[in-house]
Amino acid sequence: NHFVRDSVSNQLSDYAEKHEGEQTSITTGSGNPVGEKDASLTVGYHGPTLLQDVMLLDDLSHFTKERNPERVVHAKGAGAFGYFEVTHDITQYTAAKPFSELGKRTPIAVRFSTVAGERGYPDTVRDVRGFAVKFYTEDGIWDIVGNNTPVFFVKDAALFSSFIHVLKRNPVTNVRVDYDMFWDFVSLRKETTHQTLITFSDRGIPRSYRHMHGYGSHTYSFINAQGVLHWVKYHFITNQEIQNMSSKDALRIAGEDPDFHTRDLYNAISTGDYPSWTFCIQVMTQEQAQKLSYDPFDLTKVWLHADSPLIPVGRIVLNKSPSNYFAEIEQIAMDVAHLIPGIDISPDRMLQARMFAYRDTHQYRLGTNYNQLSVNSAYRVHNYSRDGYGTVVSQGGAPNYHPNSFEGPVIDKRARALSPCLPLHGDAKRIDSGHDDNFSQARLLYTRVLKEDERVRLVENLVDWLKRTTKKIQRRAISNFEQVHKSLGTKLREALNLSEEFHIEF
């Protein structure tokens, strides 16, 4: 029952108790003591306010700028801090510093999120959840910016912005969800089928951020001390066990407590019930990857555990909530391009495009020097960039040009030795990857992973959304689901009162 007074409700009382007798005097933003806070400076009682009221100007001119642009996706979220601890030796696969010895701890920050809603949107909606982990390593920042699902709807960045548009508000009505937009797109692009089934399964509404797994989703590369490259996928397996929420409960809670998941995370950490996840990897040699029957770099597909079992690596534990949400979570800048020696990317089209998108958006959202905000800053930065809005770091007077003969920073030989060397070949052309096998893994999910009661709820959830779109789009969507499994198509058609005789219009 979240209506009892919990750690969230007691935040202010806890502050007062902790700081009893330590009350300070108010200052302006420039630290100047303020002698009156309840009245502005006017000429007489009804007189005009004087421009020389610097206390008022200081307050209001800050207030009018208290918002920054919200994230274009994943705007609503919650986060916390903790550590990653190595429990198993994987130095045979990577020379990355966080894995260098058993028991080693690396500080981390984690941000969970929903994808489609805005900053104030309810937590308990049917959506994918973001699961982003920032590691503060000796080699700088390393981020895994993943989701609570191992796959994604599309696999070519050329389709990403359109896919996000169909999740977001209709540009004319300003209403979301626009069911026509959503089902039109997903039924036209069949590679969305696998992720659509996951999103409409029970896992589409987790019980809390603590009760879900996280995945890096993409294939990355690990490089070991000998320079050998392996392909790798990341999994964060929840130690709280998977728990989901029924659509009915989720709908009620969205109204009663839109911040339900945010509250849950804060309360758990405040009461010492620290959430943790077992960090596992799947690994493949380049030769193994070449022999797979599916594309190992296809973001709409998992690596089957039969092809590559989970290898435990360590655990992540969250034991501290932010002391100011805006400073430490709203301003956190997760980026798949934050990589450290021993870890690199792969020939996955989506991942390649993400290398561009995050830095670009952070500079827009947080400013040129977002890396200097304390939640984003590495232990040491030595480069040739200087200045711009919000500069804090001086780099101690070192030269700002390269090459130089004045003791400026030089290349890191270890980083050079650990750079992957990939033989690339092929013609430069645009190849639509949407015609690969889009249904085999979705079928495995439907027939082998989901139990009968879960399949029933999947159909109910699909029908609940599909019934709101046009017959034409329903038919096209069903013809895709039919290719997952005949019975899935039949159940949907029956529930939607659609006859089998139809002509699919594309």
When asked if residue 327 is in the footprint of ligand HEM (CB under 6 A), the reply is: no
Candidates 237, 310, 311, 353; binder of ligand HEM (CB under 6 A) is 353
Candidates 157, 381, 393, 463; binder of ligand HEM (CB under 6 A) is 157
When asked if residue 160 is in the footprint of ligand HEM (CB under 6 A), the reply is: yes
Q: Which listed residue (74, 213, 235, 338) is catalytic?
A: 74
Candidates 94, 124, 147, 278; binder of ligand HEM (CB under 6 A) is 147
Helix or strand (DSSP H, E) at 61: helix 54-63
Least CB distance to ligand HEM at residue 359 (A): 10
Least CB distance to ligand HEM at residue 431 (A): 17
Whether 74 sits among the annotated catalytic residues: the reply is yes
- 3-state secondary structure at position 237: strand
Q: Is the peptide bond before 177 cis (omega within 30 degrees of 0)?
A: yes
Q: Which listed residue (1, 88, 147, 235) is catalytic?
A: 147
Pair 146, 214: CB distance under 8 Å: yes
- Within 10 angstroms of residue 322's Cβ, the number of other Cβ atoms is 19
DSSP character string of 28-52: -TT--B-S-SS---BSSSSSPBPTT
When asked if residue 132 is in the footprint of ligand HEM (CB under 6 A), the reply is: yes
Query: Number of H helices and number of E strands within the chain?
Result: 15, 10
Nearer to ligand HEM, 84 or 152 (CB): 152
Candidates 96, 269, 283, 333; binder of ligand HEM (CB under 6 A) is 333
Nearer to ligand HEM, 72 or 456 (CB): 72
In whole angstroms, what is the distance from residue 486 CA to residue 488 CA? 6
Nearer to ligand HEM, 158 or 415 (CB): 158
Site for ligand HEM in 42-81 (CB under 6 A): 71-74, 77
In whole angstroms, what is the distance from residue 478 CA to residue 489 CA? 5
In whole angstroms, what is the distance from residue 118 CA to residue 342 CA? 36
Pair 146, 134: CB distance under 8 Å: no
Residue positions forming the annotated binding site: 358
- Provide the 8-state DSSP code for 145: E
Looking at 81-89, 338-346, 356-364, 453-461, which segment touches ligand HEM (CB under 6 A)?
Answer: 356-364
How far CA 356 is from CA of 72, 384, 396, in Å, comes to 15, 20, 30
- Nearest C-alpha neighbor of 184 from the set 205, 172, 173, 170: 170
Number of residues that bind ligand HEM (CB under 6 A): 27
Looking at 144-152, 204-212, 337-345, 449-457, which segment touches ligand HEM (CB under 6 A)?
Answer: 144-152
When asked if residue 166 is in the footprint of ligand HEM (CB under 6 A), the reply is: no
- With tokens 């021993």, the residue in question is 342
Candidates 141, 332, 445, 466; binder of ligand HEM (CB under 6 A) is 332
Nearer to ligand HEM, 179 or 358 (CB): 358
When asked if residue 458 is in the footprint of ligand HEM (CB under 6 A), the reply is: no
Nearer to ligand HEM, 352 or 487 (CB): 352
CA 325 to chain centre: 16
When asked if residue 130 is in the footprint of ligand HEM (CB under 6 A), the reply is: yes
- With tokens 């030595």, the residue in question is 382
Contact code string over 262-281 relative to ligand HEM, x by CB under 6 A = --------------------
The type of residue at 157 is: A
Looking at 83-91, 267-275, 330-338, 339-347, which segment touches ligand HEM (CB under 6 A)?
Answer: 330-338
Residue positions forming the annotated binding site for heme: 358
When asked if residue 113 is in the footprint of ligand HEM (CB under 6 A), the reply is: yes
In whole angstroms, what is the distance from residue 238 CA to residue 317 CA? 10
In the beta sheet, which residues pair with residue 110? Answer: 80, 133
When asked if residue 97 is in the footprint of ligand HEM (CB under 6 A), the reply is: no
Least CB distance to ligand HEM at residue 250 (A): 20
* Tokens describing residue 289: 């990857």
When asked if residue 365 is in the footprint of ligand HEM (CB under 6 A), the reply is: yes
In whole angstroms, what is the distance from residue 219 CA to residue 346 CA? 6
In whole angstroms, what is the distance from residue 55 CA to residue 35 CA? 9
Nearer to ligand HEM, 73 or 462 (CB): 73
Nearer to ligand HEM, 147 or 282 (CB): 147
Candidates 140, 146, 206, 214; binder of ligand HEM (CB under 6 A) is 146
In whole angstroms, what is the distance from residue 498 CA to residue 415 CA? 60
- With tokens 């939640």, the residue in question is 375
Select the residue whose beta carbon is closest to ligand HEM and give its number: 130
- With tokens 């969800």, the residue in question is 177
Candidates 199, 201, 217, 331; binder of ligand HEM (CB under 6 A) is 217
Pair 167, 177: CB distance under 8 Å: yes
Nearer to ligand HEM, 152 or 231 (CB): 152
Least CB distance to ligand HEM at residue 130 (A): 3
Whether 404 sits among the annotated catalytic residues: the reply is no
SS (H, E, C) 164-227: HHHHCCCCCCCCCCCHHHHHHHHHHCHHHHHHHHHHHCHHHCECCHHHCCEECCCCEEEECCCC
Which residues have a catalytic role annotated?
Answer: 74, 147
Positions in the binding site for ligand HEM (CB under 6 A): 71-74, 77, 111, 113, 130, 132, 145-147, 152, 157, 160, 217, 332-334, 350, 353-354, 357-358, 361-362, 365
